[in-house]
């Protein structure tokens, strides 16, 4: 049920909290300012104090922001979004790096990926693919789970000298839960102690049967170090993408997801957004979680400024008034007023939730009740 703290109710009416408490007391209920009351009681109080009440339902505010349908004719082919997953140090970043032929790995602190990077490359078949690199560290499980939500294909990297490890299994679960097809990249086959057959056998325990064992899962033996079979891997991705027949309408207000976001000293809030439908343009008014802004600049993975970002393109977005969170969904809205309405509503919701939680714990309930 909907609830509100007495403080918040008073704030919204620009009344004093004590006056609200006094009224409630008249009705026989003792309260303190931080208490939570239900929406019906709040409405009665507000009306008694001479305010008109407009109960705003989530459906009103969030209506039409996401997932409004497209006609089939409006849909156009879009690049596949591929997330690289796998156990720590199995070579996810190296692999992506080798594919891009840049040096992302050496620039990272201790060689451990601290954030999700996103890049676009062209496959030997001429199609474009968007790659998302996810951290391999156990602490970043939540981020990895998000990776699976925006992704069309998972490339599971398994080091041939190490085999299936806990986070390999985790990645398999994420891919299965998201219903996303998986391609196995057996990496580090250049190493003397590499044993790709062991990897194939171990994967069977997770109900993944690769092609060479008569199954359906595409698998490629690769080496990020020597570049062995990287073209084959890209081909496998391109083939899988073709089967999926991925499409989106580029001619609509953009929707997407924040892949990562940070507050940059010089540039202000910077969010890496994966555009999923529509085309994002400079000047657009966007909302993401409880933040909004007007797109000041869009920066592609190459570092170049672009005027627009079509579906499946990852871009750095400058112009947010605050820093959104990784995983927040992004939508373009028609006006600043609409952006304010949405984000203020979400911010209120967040505060109400926190207050309700605070009140519940104050009443001595256990964490399990929340």
> Could you list the residues that contact ligand GTP (CB under 6 A)?
86, 88-94, 105, 111-113, 135-136, 187-188, 190-191, 223-225
83, 113, 151, 257: which one contacts Mg ion (CB under 5 A)?
113
User: Is 136 annotated as contributing to ligand binding?
Assistant: yes
304 Cβ contact list (under 8 Å, min separation 6)? none
Q: What's the sign of the alpha-carbon dihedral 101, 83, 224, 184?
A: negative
Q: Do 141 and 170 touch, CB atoms closer than 8 A?
A: yes
User: Is 56 annotated as contributing to ligand binding?
Assistant: no
CB-based burial label for 90 (10 Å; 0-12, 13-18, 19+): buried
User: Is 3 annotated as contributing to ligand binding?
Assistant: no
Structure-block tokens of residue 45 = 């109080």
Region from 12-20, 111-119, 154-162, 211-219 binding Mg ion, contact rule CB under 5 A: 111-119
106: enclosing H helix or E strand: helix 104-107
User: Taking the complex as a whole, how short is the minimal distance between the CB of residue 98 and Mg ion, in angstroms?
Assistant: 12
Choose among 9, 10, 68: nearest CA to 38. 9
User: Is 61 annotated as contributing to ligand binding?
Assistant: no
Region from 105-113, 155-163, 226-234, 286-294 binding Mg ion, contact rule CB under 5 A: 105-113
Residue 168 is a binding residue for Mg ion (CB under 5 A): no
Cα distance between residue 57 and residue 55, in whole Å: 6
Upper half-sphere CA count for residue 108 (Cβ side, 13 Å): 18
User: Is 90 annotated as contributing to ligand binding?
Assistant: yes
Region from 89-97, 123-131, 156-164, 308-316 binding Mg ion, contact rule CB under 5 A: 89-97
User: Is 228 annotated as contributing to ligand binding?
Assistant: no
Q: Which residue is nearest to ligand GTP (CB)?
A: 136
Instruction: Choose the contact partner of 89 out of Mg ion, ligand GTP, none; CB within 5 to 8 A by kind.
Output: ligand GTP
User: Is 93 annotated as contributing to ligand binding?
Assistant: yes
User: Is 188 annotated as contributing to ligand binding?
Assistant: yes
Instruction: Choose the contact partner of 237 out of ligand GTP, Mg ion, none; CB within 5 to 8 A by kind.
Output: none
Residue 167 is a binding residue for Mg ion (CB under 5 A): no
Region from 57-65, 109-117, 145-153, 292-300 binding Mg ion, contact rule CB under 5 A: 109-117
Residue 94 is a binding residue for Mg ion (CB under 5 A): no
The residue (of 93 and 249) whose beta carbon lies closer to ligand GTP is: 93
SS3 354: helix
Residue 223 is a binding residue for Mg ion (CB under 5 A): no
Going by the DSSP 8-state scheme, the letter that residue 288 receives in this structure is: E
User: Taking the complex as a whole, how short is the minimal distance between the CB of residue 91 and ligand GTP, in angstroms?
Assistant: 3
Cα distance between residue 232 and residue 188, in whole Å: 15
Instruction: Choose the contact partner of 125 out of ligand GTP, Mg ion, none; CB within 5 to 8 A by kind.
Output: none
Residue 93 is a binding residue for Mg ion (CB under 5 A): yes
Contacts 24+ apart (CB under 8 A), 37-42: 37/3, 37/4, 37/5, 37/6, 37/9, 38/1, 38/2, 38/3, 39/1, 39/2, 39/3, 39/4, 42/4, 42/9
The residue (of 136 and 293) whose beta carbon lies closer to ligand GTP is: 136
SS3 233: helix
Structure-block tokens of residue 180 = 């996303």
Per the annotation, binding residues for GTP are 86-93, 133-137, 187-190
Residues that bind Mg ion (CB under 5 A): 92-93, 113
Per the annotation, binding residues are 86-93, 133-137, 187-190
């Amino acid at each position: 049920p909907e609830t509100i703290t007495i403080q918040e109710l008073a704030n919204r009416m620009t009344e004093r909290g004590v006056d609200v408490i006094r009224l409630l007391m008249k009705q026989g209920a003792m309260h303190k300012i931080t208490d939570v009351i239900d929406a019906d009681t709040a409405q009665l109080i507000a009306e008694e104090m001479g305010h008109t009440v407009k109960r705003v339902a989530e459906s009103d505010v969030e209506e039409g922001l996401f997932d409004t349908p497209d006609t089939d004719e409006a849909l156009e082919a879009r690049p596949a979004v591929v997330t690289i997953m796998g156990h720590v140090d199995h070579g996810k970043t190296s692999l992506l790096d080798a594919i891009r032929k840049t040096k992302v790995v050496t620039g990272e602190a201790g060689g451990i990926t601290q954030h999700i990077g996103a890049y676009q490359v062209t496959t030997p078949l001429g199609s474009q693919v968007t790659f998302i690199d996810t951290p391999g560290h156990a602490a970043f499980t939540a981020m990895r789970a998000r990776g699976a939500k925006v992704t069309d294909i998972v490339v599971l990297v398994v080091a041939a000298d190490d085999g299936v490890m806990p986070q390999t299994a985790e990645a398999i679960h994420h891919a299965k839960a998201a219903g996303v097809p998986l391609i196995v990249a057996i990496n580090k086959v250049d190493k003397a102690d590499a044993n790709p057959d062991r990897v194939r056998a171990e994967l069977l325990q997770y109900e993944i049967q690769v092609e060479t064992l008569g199954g359906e899962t595409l698998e490629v033996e690769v080496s990020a170090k020597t570049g062995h079979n990287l073209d084959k891997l890209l081909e496998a991705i391109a083939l899988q993408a073709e089967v999926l027949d991925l499409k989106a309408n580029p001619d609509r207000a953009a929707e997407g997801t924040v892949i990562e976001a940070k507050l940059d000293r010089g540039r202000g809030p910077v969010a890496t957004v994966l555009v999923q439908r529509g085309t994002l343009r400079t000047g657009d008014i966007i909302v993401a979680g409880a933040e909004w802004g007007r797109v000041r600049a869009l920066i592609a993975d190459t570092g170049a400024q672009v005027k627009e970002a079509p579906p499946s393109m990852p871009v750095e977005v400058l112009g947010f008034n605050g820093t959104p969170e990784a995983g927040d969904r992004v939508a373009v809205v028609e006006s600043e007023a609409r952006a304010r309405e949405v984000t203020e509503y979400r911010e209120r919701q967040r505060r109400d939730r926190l207050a309700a939680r605070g009140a519940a714990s104050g009443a001595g309930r256990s964490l399990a009740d929340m």
